[in-house]
Structure 1
Amino acid sequence: MGSFTELEAWKQSRKIRNIVSDLVKKFPVDEKFRLADQIIRSSRSIGNNLAEGHGRFHYQDNIRFCIVARGSLTETLDHLIIALDEKIITEEILQSFHPEYESCLKLINGYIQYLKSKKMGE
């Protein structure tokens, strides 16, 4: 496999990162160093961990980073739920994020399964 940028899971994580980046620009100023900072960090962590895992020598290392990426994806969704509860975003915005979340989750899980099957063939 070539670069991590060819991974479908990474491409979807990039899309999520860009959605979050655009969304937090509309957050209230008093949330800049609280919720906005946290959601930016968690959304960036998805792709960061996929990239770092891809650069590892062993399949198990890559799998471990993919699991962390999956956790960051779920954390990002939780931050959006908090934004909804705090009335920073609407239910419609949250619902529009769900397909992106589900797509990324499926891609990461599929990639983990692929890596596990490759590991078994080592």
Structure 2
Amino acid sequence: MTRPDFEKLEVYRLAEKLANQIWHIVQQWDCFAKDTIGKQIVRAADSVCANIAEGRGRYNYQDNRRFLKIARGSLYETINWLRLAYARKLLTDEQVSKFKPILDELPPKLNAYLNSIGNRE
């Protein structure tokens, strides 16, 4: 079996980078923060790259588009949790400055990828 090609997608690599950054931040939180907002934010961030990968593995563009829409919803959920974590003083300005460029780049790239599906498959 060959390596899956989703790993070559820039949009996937950005989503994976964001998920890993969030994971490392949440690991440092206290038990209450981890158990409440931490689990939610990690699941949402992981869901972005997981759905990009799953959609890429589907046999037709309609399924791929459906999973990309789920990934986009998970990205928005991730942004929501990040906003709440920042408001609750769980994130420092330094931490935010590390993942903000990804959050600025990822939504338009995800939308562009979604719009391209079906045009070339």
TM-score by length of 2: 0.88
Structure 1 contact 46–69 (Cα < 8 Å) conserved: yes
Q: Percent identity?
A: 33
Q: CA deviation at 1:38?
A: 0.5
* Structure 2 unmatched ranges of 5 or more: none
Answer with 4-13 or 98-107: which moved more: 98-107
SS in 1 for 2:113: helix
Partner of 1:40, secondary structure, is helix
2:40 to 38, 41, 44: 38
Q: Which amino acid aligns with 1:105?
A: P
The corresponding residue for 1:5 is 7
Instruction: Give the one of 46, 52, 55 matched to 2:54.
Output: 52
1:11-38 CA distance string (max 9 Å, x none): 1111001110111122222112111100
Q: 1:7, CA displacement in angstroms?
A: 1.0
Q: CA deviation at 1:102?
A: 2.0
1:61-76 mapped onto 2 (5 Å cutoff): 61-76=63-78
Q: Deviations over 1:68-93 (max 9, x none)?
A: 11111111111111111111113453
Which stretch shows the higher mean deviation, 89-98 or 50-59? 89-98
Rounded Cα–Cα distance in structure 2 between residues aligned with 1:96 and 1:51: 24
Per-residue CA distance 1:7-65 (angstroms, 9 max, x = gap): 11111111001110111122222112111100110010001000110011111110111
- For structure 1, the 5+ residue unaligned runs are none
**TM-score normalized by the length of structure 1:** 0.87
In angstroms, what is the RMSD of aligned CA positions?
A: 1.6
Partner amino acid for 1:77?
Answer: I
